[in-house]
């Protein structure tokens, strides 16, 4: 009886995990056009590179601004 209860609980947990995975995959596809985890990793790397480039450009623009207008 106890074993049956454990098996049922494990099955319920597996079902919840599968449902959560389906939701995550659906969101990845809808929001980021990624159909696999590998696509999502590639997209993440691209977004991180874009973020770094934008950050560098911003910092350079701030330095130029501060040189021209001075710090206050």
Same domain assignment for residues 69 and 54: yes
What predicted TM-score, i.e. pTM, was given to this entire model? 0.67
**Nearest CA among 41, 37, 38 for reference residue 49:** 41
Residues 54 and 68 in one domain: yes
The span from the CA of 27 to the CA of 42, in Å, is: 16
What's the count of helices (H) and strands (E) in the chain, helices before strands? 2, 0
Q: Do 6 and 19 sit in the same domain of this protein? A: yes
Q: Residue 21 and residue 15: Cα distance in Å, rounded?
A: 10
Task: List, for residues 31-51, the tens digit of each pLDDT value.
Answer: 999 999 999 999 999 999 999
Identify whether residues 27 and 41 lie together within a single domain: no
Do 72 and 40 share a structural domain? yes
In a shared domain, residues 26 and 44 = no
Same domain, 72 and 56: yes
* Percent of the chain at pLDDT exceeding 90: 93
Instruction: Provide the pLDDT for residue 30.
Output: 95
Residues 40 and 29: beta-carbon distance below 8 Å: no
Domain that holds residue 60: 36-72
Write down the pLDDT at residue 70: 83
1, containing H or E segment: none
Domain count of the fold of the chain = 2
């Amino acid at each position: 009886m106890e074993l049956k209860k454990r098996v049922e609980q494990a099955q319920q947990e597996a079902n919840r995990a599968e449902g959560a995975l389906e939701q995550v995959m659906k969101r990845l596809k809808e929001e980021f056009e990624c159909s696999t985890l590998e696509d999502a990793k590639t997209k993440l790397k691209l977004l991180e590179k874009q973020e770094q480039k934008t950050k560098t450009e911003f910092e350079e623009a701030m330095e130029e601004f501060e040189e021209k207008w001075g710090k206050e």
